[in-house]
Chains A and B, each alone.
Chain A
Amino acid sequence: KNQVEQSPQSLIILEGKNCTLQCNYTVSPFSNLRWYKQDTGRGPVSLTIMTFSENTKSNGRYTATLDADTKQSSLHITASQLSDSASYICVVSAWGTGGFKTIFGAGTRLFVKA
């Protein structure tokens, strides 16, 4: 069972609209959570990184929230642009048996249409 679940799997929105992507995780003990943007055929680019004590972090039009009690995070994109079309990947790091581990979610594919 994947310990980092993202929803929706894919999303289509119109340019200029807002959207929110979800990430639920069961990984513990939690260290940090990162959101990456990945354009097709390119490497992921970091958007935000949050530790246990942080519950919101912004990077331009991207705002990530974290609720460590419910183990949920969201990524809110404001005033979407065509260039926001990409996969958004949630990554959780935690200590586990055998050492530190980093778990990738399957990603949400966002399509922004004109």
Chain B
Amino acid sequence: DTEVTQTPKHLVMGMTNKKSLKCEQHMGHRAMYWYKQKAKKPPELMFVYSYEKLSINESVPSRFSPECPNSSLLNLHLHALQPEDSALYLCASSQGALTGDEQYFGPGTRLTVT
């Protein structure tokens, strides 16, 4: 199984809502990532988890809160988002976090903040 799955595929939320994005992989990868991608732009790294511990936080606002319950799951909790946070949110995983290993991406969650 070389697939990274993400749910939901689409999400529309108001600025006062609380929602969560979910990501799952069963490749035995020890590193998982959250990226944000705006239209016609490359993905921007948000968080990196290595062995279930947060290893990189790219100065992301606290309204985004990542969680790694176990080695296969990665969540991104959303609260009090702004319209400019609307984007495609991509999850990825790799064998290791600090080795430049190939990253396998999920299909993304298209988030719209109203």
Which residues of A are interface residues toward B (Cβ below 8 A)?
31-32, 34, 36, 41-46, 49, 89, 93-94, 99-100, 102, 104-107, 109
Residues B75-108 near A (CB distance < 8 A): 88, 90, 92, 97-100, 102-108
Identify the closest chain B residue to A93 (Cβ): B100
CA distance A32 to B103 in the complex (A): 12
Give the docked Cα–Cα distance between A96 and B70 (Å).
29
Q: Mark B26-50, 1 if CB is under 8 A from A, else 0.
A: 0000000000000011111100000
Asked if residues B90 and A104 are in contact (CB atoms below 8 Å), the reply is: no
Interface residues of B (CB under 8 A from A): 4, 6, 40-45, 88, 90, 92, 97-100, 102-108, 110
B106 (CB) vs chain A CBs: closest residue: A43
Contact yes or no, B102 A44, CB < 8 A: no
Are A41 and B110 within 8 A (Cβ)?
A: yes
Q: Which residue of A lies closest to B10 (CB)?
A: A41
Tell me the bound Cα distance from A42 to B43 in angstroms: 12
Number of interchain pairs (Cβ within 8 Å): 46
Q: Which of A36, A46, A102 contacts B100 (CB 8 A)?
A: A102
Distance of B27 from chain A, by nearest CB (Å): 13
Q: Is the CB of B99 within 8 A of A100?
A: yes
A38 to B106, CA, bound (A): 11
Expressed in whole angstroms, the minimum distance between the Cβ of A45 and any Cβ of chain B is 7
In chain B, what residue has the closest Cβ to A10?
B40
Residues in chain A near residue B4, CB distance under 8 A? 43
Greatest chain A CB density within 10 A among B41, B102, B108 is at B102
Query: Nearest chain A CB to B37's CB is how many angstroms away?
Result: 9
Given contacts A93-B100, A100-B99, contact A42 B41 (CB under 8 A): no
Contact B100 A106 (CB under 8 A): no
Closest 5 interchain pairs by CB? A93-B100, A43-B105, A104-B42, A31-B100, A100-B98
